[in-house]
Every structure is written in structure tokens, then in C-alpha cells.
């Protein structure tokens, strides 16, 4: 667990406390506080200590000024700052000087004997941590603890700071707390007034004793470090799992018990890598987009998944799954497809391996996506129309599930995105992880460093995004940007912006964020791009959204189309309309001149030409 010492004021004392190596040092910028930091500068501190500015309803301009002046790495908001305030602050990061671009936002809430946790919800995506303090006369520094049992009902997975009256007398109580469920997401202890000789002057000996007495807890950072990967039960935080009809259990269970074992076999890995190289054409280039970078005054790299065989990232996953199916002795492959992209990728690998392939597709989609239907047929697949319901993707999925239940022994179901019951989201993510694996060494070659400042990807179900983020999930210096389709606008009723409009629900076998009506009926999504037209997101992304690890943006049809045209004209690359959504963020959000931003160019635009032509009347 981390330690934060707050309310620092005096230069010598700051240096003495810093020598104890806390993780955070807090400086209060609030004139009414007895600990107000009004000194000109903070002495040089070890890099491992995060300088934290504490503010109470301060003007954002002033916050930014002070963050820049003192090079603060975190801000703690102790007043009535709204979610919009936090969001505004987050969105102004481009104004921050160098080291502080990943400014951590800690929002404080005061608790006494009870607390309405629903207040936290709108803050989930706008701040990095919560801090729970004791409700008292002053904003902080009141010197007594609140009833920590309240935290038994903590509904979030966002890590929090525990604050309020922590002192030497609380060591025993802290030990008990750490062993209780309520501390599951407790990330740091925040101490202040109980260690003071006078306001702002800390007692070094007492702090030393505190650190020593709690050393087993404070030295153990591992447990509380956020995990963005799936856990052993198949969950990403509260999302994921396997919600399946009993009749599917044997199939899913067989896969769950075998997928990691099979993927770890050297022979499997060798065959997978070989096919990615010789058949798919990997590694896909990491291309520095010079003209696009000039236009937006930042360094933009494109990860060229569009150059893969079949024109998108989807083939990485279908190659992996067909090899998995073969290892498990399956002879028949089924899949569902909406726009036909996943159907084509599946039919392709079935042809490659000589396996029977049945693709379920809504009757309406079959009519809309004739070229892809023709491709699948030419590749030897049987395309079966789904005639029920709205005759689109979700109905095709229902048909595929029905088929699997009826053919549990010889059939493998290839799911095309990072969705479905566990282990699918994790398995698909691991197959797509080759994307970020390559980015690491390619960026090292070109920029001299493995980590970009941002990775960006569009999200339908979230497979290209999961692959692009995978090796960066636990690298805090890499910002993650997820781009959803806003369709005709978030409030238009015609969109697919799940992170904004979605609520927890179950779709296709997993618990995730899902667009639904009040009584839980799935809302029909809309986007101009068929690949983003999905009412949910994969459980990994639901978790990334909820914890605030990823920044979610939504892009309208028209902004996406313009961005697609722009890339064509500036770089000679016609992107898939899905990908155009990811590219459109440059018109919406600022980056710094020396930021390195890697965008997953998930697919090429050949399939969308007619759409582009209609739209622009070319
Ligand atoms: C299918 C598709 C997507 C969306 O799927 P994800 O699983 O979210 O990656 C994005 N881009 C292209 C080109 C696609 O074909």
C-alpha cells in the first residue's frame, strides 16, 4: 500500500519527510488552511515521490498554473468540484508542462457514519482515485477517523486513499482493516494532522515509527496494484464471467480448461507465429504519418493492420482460434457475422485448414453486404441466413449459439471480438496482443523508446483495441484512448457510444456495459460503420472505462467520414470507416508537440468505398 503525507509546509521538514520515501507528498493550496503552502518553491524531491497539490474549489486556471509552477504530478480536489470540473481539468492536460502530462486526479469525499456511494458514479471516468476523509468542520485535517465499515459497501473498483485521523494509535485498526474486504481497493494511506508538532510541521520520529509498524503493509504494493487483465475467475473487475445456458457449459468449459495450456505449447506458438508471418504478412508496419503529424502538430504513428491478409486485424484472432480448434480435435467451425468481415476472416482460415465452415448472418445483413457474402461462398463457407428478430447480428449470434448447443463435440465457435463468455475475451485479446508486442520493438527502433504517450483504437466489441493496449495496460506512462461511435450524436438515439450510454447488463454470455432500455431490453445500436455497430463493449473495456484507466471518446459519423477522407488525401491510405473514428480524435483533442501517439489502423477502406463515395458524392 502507498503512503501519502499531506500538509507539508516548511522546507527543512519537507526534505526530512521526503527522506522517508513516502509515495506522495501533499501541498495544500488553500488560503484558509493553517497548512496553506505559500512558499515560492518546493525543494527538489526524489522522482519516486509524487508531488500532490490539494485544492478546495479553486479556479481551474489557478490549478493549472500551480501544477506547472511546482511541477505537480497529482491534484487532490477537496471541495465541491463537480464531475464536469474534473473532466475539464483532465481535458486541459495539453497546457501542462512536460513531466506532468499524466496528472493524477484524486477526488475527495467526506464520510462520517454513512455514505451514499451513488455519488461516485459520475466521477468514475473523470478521476484516477477517490480519497475518503472524515466529514468535519474543515475540509481535511480534522484529526479523527470515520467508520471504515462503511467501505464494505464500496461499489467501485477504483483504487482509493484512506484518510482522516490516521496516527500511531490507529496502527492496530489499520492492520485489521487491511485484512478485511473493505480494503480491497484501498490504494494508499493518507496521513496528516496526527503527525504534527504544529500545523504543517511533521514529527519525523513518529512518521518513522508509523512506517516501521506498518512496514508489512506499506512495502507490499503488489496486491493493490490494479489488474486490467482477466482474473482467474474470468472477470475484469466486476465485468466478464460466463453467463451461458447450461447446455453450452461443456463446450465453454472445455475451452476454458485448455486455452492457456494450448497457447503455451511451443509447437502451437511456433505454428501461430509462422502463419502470422507467412500467411498474414506480419509484422505489420508501424508507419510514421508525417503529413498527418504536421497537420496536428504531434507525432502520429499508424499501426498498419490494414495491410494484413483480408484487410484487417480480425485474421490474427481467426488464425489463433482455428489452430486452437484443431488442437481440441474439432472438425467443424461456426461463426456469426454482421458486416461480414469476421465471416470472411473465418472462412479464410477454414479454407486454409480444410475445415467445414458455417457462417450465420442476418437476412438483412446478407442483402446489405453482398460482396462479403460472395467472398465467403467463394472460400467454401456455407452462409446461413438468420430469419428471426431484426434479422441482423444479434439474431445471427443466437443461431450460432443454437448450433453449438446441438453440436458440442465436433464444433468450435469462433467469436470475432473480445466479447462472449470467459475465456473468449481473454483468448481473443491474447491472439490480438501481437499488435502491441510489435509496437513495442518497432517504436523502440524508430523513437528509441518502447512506450508511446498514447495508444488509440476504435472499439466495436474491442478486439483491435484490446490487442493494441495489451502490453501497455500496466504501464502508467502510456495513456489509453478508446474511441466509440457516436453515430448521429450521443443524444440522438442513433449511436453506439456504450461507455456513455451503457449500463451493466449481460450480453452474449458476459457481464459488461450495454446499451439498454429501462427494463433491460437491448437498444438497437447505430453507426455508419458496420464494425462499430454493437450495443456493448468487451468486458475488458468496460473495466478500463469504469476504473478511468482509459479515456473514452465518441465520434460522430460525419467526423469519422471527414477523418477518413483526410487520411486518404494526406497519407495515401484509405482507412476502414471503423478506423476513421479513431483518426477523428485529432480534430477533437489536443496533443503536445512531442507526444508520440500510436493509432491502430484496424482495417482498410476497400469494403467501404461505396459508402465513402455516396457520402462525399465523389
Ligand atoms: C470488425 C472491425 C472493427 C471492430 O471490431 P473490434 O473487435 O472492436 O476491433 C474495427 N475495425 C475494423 C476494420 C473491423 O473490421
Could you tell me the three cell numbers for 568? 486518404
What is the rounded distance in angstroms from the CA atom of residue 18 to the CA atom of residue 82? 32
Tens-place pLDDT, residues 3-47: 999 999 999 999 999 999 999 999 999 999 999 999 999 999 988
Tell me if 528 sits within 8 A of 556, measured CB to CB: no
Closest-lying ligand 1 atom to the alpha carbon of residue 604:
13
Closest-lying ligand 1 atom to the alpha carbon of residue 311:
13
- Between β-strands 299-304 and 286-288, what pairing exists: parallel, antiparallel or unpaired? antiparallel
Mutate to test the pocket of ligand 1, among 369, 458, 560 (most ligand atoms within 8 A of CB): 458
What is the rounded distance in angstroms from the CA atom of residue 587 to the CA atom of residue 251? 46
Q: Whose CA is nearest to atom 3 of ligand 1?
A: 531
What is the rounded distance in angstroms from the CA atom of residue 103 to the CA atom of residue 123? 16
Predicted pLDDT at 230: 94
Predicted pLDDT at 223: 47
Q: Whose CA is nearest to atom 14 of ligand 1?
A: 531
Q: How far is the centre of ligand 1, averaged over its atoms, from the C-alpha of 531 (Å)?
A: 5
pLDDT surpasses 50 at 99: no
Q: How far is the centre of ligand 1, averaged over its atoms, from the C-alpha of 481 (Å)?
A: 15
Tell me if 513 sits within 8 A of 499, measured CB to CB: yes
Q: Which of 556, 533, 581, 243 is nearest to 390 (CA)?
A: 533
Placement of cell 491474447 in the chain: 430
pLDDT surpasses 60 at 538: yes
What is the rounded distance in angstroms from the CA atom of residue 420 to the CA atom of residue 418? 7
Give the percent of the chain with pLDDT over 70: 99
Could you tell me the three cell numbers for 71? 511541477
What is the rounded distance in angstroms from the CA atom of residue 458 to the CA atom of residue 100? 26
Tell me if 28 sits within 8 A of 137, measured CB to CB: no
pLDDT bucket at 613, cuts 50 / 70 / 90: very high
pLDDT surpasses 90 at 184: no
Tell me if 342 sits within 8 A of 615, measured CB to CB: no
| Neighbouring residues of 479: CB distance < 8 A, sequence distance ≥ 6 | 102, 453, 454, 455, 551
Segment among 132-141, 382-391, 435-444 with least mean pLDDT: 132-141
Other beta carbons within 10 angstroms of residue 92's beta carbon come to: 16
Tell me if 490 sits within 8 A of 559, measured CB to CB: no
Tell me if 616 sits within 8 A of 321, measured CB to CB: no
Q: How far is the centre of ligand 1, averaged over its atoms, from the C-alpha of 278 (Å)?
A: 23
In this prediction, residues 549-558 reach a mean pLDDT of 95
What is the rounded distance in angstroms from the CA atom of residue 69 to the CA atom of residue 488? 42
Strands (E), 387-463: 411-413, 454-458
Arithmetic mean of pLDDT over the chain: 93
Other beta carbons within 10 angstroms of residue 6's beta carbon come to: 26
Predicted pLDDT at 225: 61
Highest mean pLDDT among 296-300, 393-397, 475-479: 296-300
Q: How far is the centre of ligand 1, averaged over its atoms, from the C-alpha of 459 (Å)?
A: 7
Question: Residue 525: phi, psi to the nearest 5?
Answer: -80, 165
Mutate to test the pocket of ligand 1, among 527, 532, 560 (most ligand atoms within 8 A of CB): 532
What is the rounded distance in angstroms from the CA atom of residue 595 to the CA atom of residue 380? 46
Element (H, E) at 266: helix 266-275
Closest-lying ligand 1 atom to the alpha carbon of residue 305:
13
Mutate to test the pocket of ligand 1, among 341, 485, 533, 537 (most ligand atoms within 8 A of CB): 341
Tens-place pLDDT, residues 142-161: 788 999 999 999 988 889 99
Give first-to-last CA distance, the chain, whole Å: 59
Q: How far is the centre of ligand 1, averaged over its atoms, from the C-alpha of 91 (Å)?
A: 27
What is the rounded distance in angstroms from the CA atom of residue 385 to the CA atom of residue 401? 14
Question: Residue 43: phi, psi to the nearest 5?
Answer: -65, 160
Q: Whose CA is nearest to atom 5 of ligand 1?
A: 460
Determine the Cα angle at 400 with ends 399 and 402, to 5°: 65
pLDDT bucket at 224, cuts 50 / 70 / 90: low
Domains recognised in the chain with CATH numbers: 2-224 (3.20.20.70), 235-282+310-426 (3.40.50.1100), 286-308+434-616 (3.40.50.1100)
pLDDT bucket at 98, cuts 50 / 70 / 90: low
Q: At what angle do helices 609-616 and 557-571 cross, to 10 degrees?
A: 100
In this prediction, residues 308-326 reach a mean pLDDT of 98
Residues with CB under 6 A from ligand 1: 312, 314, 341, 417, 458-465, 531-532, 576, 578-579, 602-603
Predicted pLDDT at 227: 85
Could you tell me the three cell numbers for 9? 509546509
* Helix and strand counts by DSSP (H, E) for the chain: 22, 24
- 295 exposure class (CB count in 10 Å sphere: 0-12, 13-18, 19+): middle
Beta bridge partners of 111: 134
Q: Which of 21, 120, 110, 126 is nearest to 75 (CA)?
A: 126
What is the rounded distance in angstroms from the CA atom of residue 547 to the CA atom of residue 561? 30
Active site residues: 314, 336, 602
pLDDT surpasses 90 at 393: no
Q: Which of 198, 187, 142 is nearest to 166 (CA)?
A: 142
Output b/e per residue, 506-520; b: 16+ Cβ within 10 A. bbbbbbbbbbbeeee
- Between β-strands 24-29 and 2-5, what pairing exists: parallel, antiparallel or unpaired? parallel
Tell me if 453 sits within 8 A of 264, measured CB to CB: no
Closest-lying ligand 1 atom to the alpha carbon of residue 417:
7
Tens-place pLDDT, residues 403-446: 999 999 999 999 999 999 999 999 999 999 999 999 999 999 99
Q: How far is the centre of ligand 1, averaged over its atoms, from the C-alpha of 433 (Å)?
A: 14
What is the rounded distance in angstroms from the CA atom of residue 248 to the CA atom of residue 409? 11
What is the rounded distance in angstroms from the CA atom of residue 598 to the CA atom of residue 285? 12
Determine the Cα angle at 334 with ends 331 and 337, to 5°: 155
- Between β-strands 201-202 and 235-236, what pairing exists: parallel, antiparallel or unpaired? unpaired
Higher pLDDT, 534 or 242: 242
Q: Which of 173, 181, 172, 188 is nearest to 220 (CA)?
A: 188
Mutate to test the pocket of ligand 1, among 542, 603, 606, 608 (most ligand atoms within 8 A of CB): 603
In this prediction, residues 273-301 reach a mean pLDDT of 98
Tell me if 476 sits within 8 A of 129, measured CB to CB: no
Q: Whose CA is nearest to atom 13 of ligand 1?
A: 603
Q: How far is the centre of ligand 1, averaged over its atoms, from the C-alpha of 532 (Å)?
A: 7
pLDDT bucket at 101, cuts 50 / 70 / 90: low
Tens-place pLDDT, residues 569-586: 999 999 999 999 999 999
Three-state DSSP state, 3: strand
Q: Whose CA is nearest to atom 7 of ligand 1?
A: 463
Three-state DSSP state, 178: helix
In this prediction, residues 67-94 reach a mean pLDDT of 91
Q: How far is the centre of ligand 1, averaged over its atoms, from the C-alpha of 316 (Å)?
A: 12
Higher pLDDT, 400 or 99: 400
Q: At what angle do helices 249-264 and 424-432 cross, to 10 degrees?
A: 30
Element (H, E) at 547: helix 539-547
Closest-lying ligand 1 atom to the alpha carbon of residue 464:
9
Which DSSP letter does residue 98 get? G
Alpha helices by DSSP H, listed for 407-521, are 424-432, 434-447, 463-469, 498-501
pLDDT surpasses 90 at 368: no
Tell me if 3 sits within 8 A of 24, measured CB to CB: yes
Amino acid at each position: 500500500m502507498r503512503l501519502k503525507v499531506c500538509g507539508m509546509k516548511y522546507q527543512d521538514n519537507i526534505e526530512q519527510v521526503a527522506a522517508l520515501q513516502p509515495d506522495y507528498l501533499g501541498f495544500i493550496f488553500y488560503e484558509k488552511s493553517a497548512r496553506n503552502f505559500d512558499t515560492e518553491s518546493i525543494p527538489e524531491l526524489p522522482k519516486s515521490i509524487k508531488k500532490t497539490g490539494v485544492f478546495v474549489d479553486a479556479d481551474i486556471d489557478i490549478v493549472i498554473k500551480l501544477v506547472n509552477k511546482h511541477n505537480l504530478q497529482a491534484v487532490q480536489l477537496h471541495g465541491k468540484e463537480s464531475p464536469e470540473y474534473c473532466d475539464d481539468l483532465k481535458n486541459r492536460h495539453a497546457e501542462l508542462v512536460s513531466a506532468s502530462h499524466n496528472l493524477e486526479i484524486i477526488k475527495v469525499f467526506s464520510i462520517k457514519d454513512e455514505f451514499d456511494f451513488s455519488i461516485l458514479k459520475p466521477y468514475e471516468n473523470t478521476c484516477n482515485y477517490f480519497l475518503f476523509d472524515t466529514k468535519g468542520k474543515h475540509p481535511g485535517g480534522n484529526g479523527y477517523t470515520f467508520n471504515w465499515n462503511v467501505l464494505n459497501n464500496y461499489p467501485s473498483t477504483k483504487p482509493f486513499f484512506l484518510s482522516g485521523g490516521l496516527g500511531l494509535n490507529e496502527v492496530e485498526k489499520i492492520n485489521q482493516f487491511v485484512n478485511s474486504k473493505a480494503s480491497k481497493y484501498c490504494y494508499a494511506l493518507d496521513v496528516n494532522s496526527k503527525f504534527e508538532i504544529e500545523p504543517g510541521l511533521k514529527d519525523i520520529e513518529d512518521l518513522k515509527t508509523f512506517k516501521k509498524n506498518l512496514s508489512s503493509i506499506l512495502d507490499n504494493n503488489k496486491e493493490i496494484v490494479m489488474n486490467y487483465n482477466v482474473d482467474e475467475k474470468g472477470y475484469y473487475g466486476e465485468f466478464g464471467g460466463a453467463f451461458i445456458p447450461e447446455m453450452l457449459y461443456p463446450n465453454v468449459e472445455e475451452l476454458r480448461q485448455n486455452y492457456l495450456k494450448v497457447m503455451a505449447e511451443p509447437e502451437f506458438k511456433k505454428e501461430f507465429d509462422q502463419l502470422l508471418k507467412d500467411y498474414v504478412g506480419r509484422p505489420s508496419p508501424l508507419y510514421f504519418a508525417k503529413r498527418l503529424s504536421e497537420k496536428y502538430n504531434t507525432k502520429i504513428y499508424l499501426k498498419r493492420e490494414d495491410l494484413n491478409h483480408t484487410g484487417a486485424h480480425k485474421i490474427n484472432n481467426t488464425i489463433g482460434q482455428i489452430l486452437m480448434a484443431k488442437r481440441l480435435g474439432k472438425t467443424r467451425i461456426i461463426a456469426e457475422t454482421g458486416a461480414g468481415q469476421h465471416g470472411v476472416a473465418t472462412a479464410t482460415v477454414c479454407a486454409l485448414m480444410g475445415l467445414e465452415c458455417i457462417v450465420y448472418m442476418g437476412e438483412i445483413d446478407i442483402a446489405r453486404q453482398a460482396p462479403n457474402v460472395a467472398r465467403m461462398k467463394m472460400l467454401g463457407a456455407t452462409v446461413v441466413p438468420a430469419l428471426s428478430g431484426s434479422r441482423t447480428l444479434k439474431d445471427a449470434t443466437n443461431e450460432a449459439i443454437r448450433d453449438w448447443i446441438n453440436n458440442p463435440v465436433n464444433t468450435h465457435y469462433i467469436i470475432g471480438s473480445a466479447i462472449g463468455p470467459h475465456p473468449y475475451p481473454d483468448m481473443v485479446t491474447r491472439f490480438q496482443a501481437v499488435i502491441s508486442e510489435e509496437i513495442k520493438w518497432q517504436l523502440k527502433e524508430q523513437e528509441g523508446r518502447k512506450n508511446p504517450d498514447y495508444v488509440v483504437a476504435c472499439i466495436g466489441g474491442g478486439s483491435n483495441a484490446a490487442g493494441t493496449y495489451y502490453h501497455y495496460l500496466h504501464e502508467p506512462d502510456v495513456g489509453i484512448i478508446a474511441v466509440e461511435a457516436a453515430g448521429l450524436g450521443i443524444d440522438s438515439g442513433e449511436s453506439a457510444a456504450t461507455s456513455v450510454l451503457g449500463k451493466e447488463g449481460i450480453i452474449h454470455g458476459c457481464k459488461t456495459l450495454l446499451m439498454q432500455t429501462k427494463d433491460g431490453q437491448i437498444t438497437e445500436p447505430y453507426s455508419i460503420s458496420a464494425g462499430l455497430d454493437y450495443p456493448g463493449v468487451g468486458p475488458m473495456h468496460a473495466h478500463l472505462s469504469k476504473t478511468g484507466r482509459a479515456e473514452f471518446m465518441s465520434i460522430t459519423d460525419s467526423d469519422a467520414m471527414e477523418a477518413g477522407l483526410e487520411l486518404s488525401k494526406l497519407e495515401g491510405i484509405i482507412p476502414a470507416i471503423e478506423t476513421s473514428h479513431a483518426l477523428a480524435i485529432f480534430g477533437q483533442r489536443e496533443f503536445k508537440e512531442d507526444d508520440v501517439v500510436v493509432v491502430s489502423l484496424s482495417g482498410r477502406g476497400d469494403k467501404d468505398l461505396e459508402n465513402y463515395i455516396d457520402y462525399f458524392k465523389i
